[in-house]
């Protein structure tokens, strides 16, 4: 959950997602020139990577991998 997948066919390795992710979840494999999800547990489902990806290669769900404790 959280950021669910990166379409590797579409990803052009621009590194935008790695640059902007507020929680440092995404990284770029510099050899393969493809982005990958490295720290999924810390994804806050903020959709920034999906909205900013110039290729439309990233898909985010609103359901986070790690749910916070609820009040009741």
Partner 1 sequence: MQEIISDILVIGGGAAGCFAAIKAKQSGISKVLLVDKGYVGKSGCSKFAAGSFKCFIPGEDDFELWFSKAVEEGYYINDQIWTRIHLDEVFERAKELEAWGLNFLKDRNGRFQRLEGQGSSKQRPIKTMMFQGPQLMDVLRATARKHSVRIMDRTMVTHLLHHANDRDMIAGALGFDLKTGRQKAFKAKAIILSAGAQAYKSHYAYQKMATGDAHVMGLRAGAAIKNYEFTCHHLSCADFDTTGMNVLQGTGARFMNSKGEPYMKKYDPEYGDHASMNRLSAAMACEVRLGNGPLYYDFGAFDAKSLDYFKKTLPIMYKAFERAGYIKGGKIKDRVQWVSVNMGNVGYGGGLDINTRCETSVQGLYAAGDATCGPASGVEGFSAYAIPFATTSGARSGLAASEYVRGRNDPLLDKEEVSFCLGELLAPLRRRDGVEPDYVVLKVQEAIFPMDVYLLRHGKRLEQALGKICQLRDEIVPRIKAYDTHYLRMALEASNIVTCAEMFLRAAIARTESRGSHLREDYPDIDNTKWLKWIVFKQENGEIVVSTEPIPVDEYPMKPERKIRRHPIASVMRWK
As measured in angstroms, the least distance from the Cβ of 6 to partner 1 is 16
Residue of 7, 45, 63 lying closest to 53 (CA atoms) = 7
63 lies in the binding site for partner 1 (CB under 8 A): yes
31 lies in the binding site for partner 1 (CB under 8 A): no
Q: Work out the burial of residue 2: count CB atoms within 10 Å of its CB; fewer than 13 is exposed, 13-18 middle, 19 or more buried.
A: buried
As measured in angstroms, the least distance from the Cβ of 8 to partner 1 is 21
41 lies in the binding site for partner 1 (CB under 8 A): yes
Q: Which of 22, 30, 33, 56 binds partner 1 (CB under 8 A)?
A: 22
> Which H helix or E strand runs over 37?
strand 34-37
């Amino acid at each position: 959950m959280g950021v669910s997948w990166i379409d590797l066919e579409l990803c052009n390795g621009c590194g935008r997602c790695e640059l902007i992710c507020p929680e440092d979840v995404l990284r770029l494999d510099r050899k393969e020139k493809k982005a990958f999800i490295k720290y999924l547990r810390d994804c806050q489902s903020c959709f920034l990577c999906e909205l900013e990806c110039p290729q439309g290669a990233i898909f985010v769900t609103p359901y986070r991998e790690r749910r916070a404790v609820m009040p009741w």
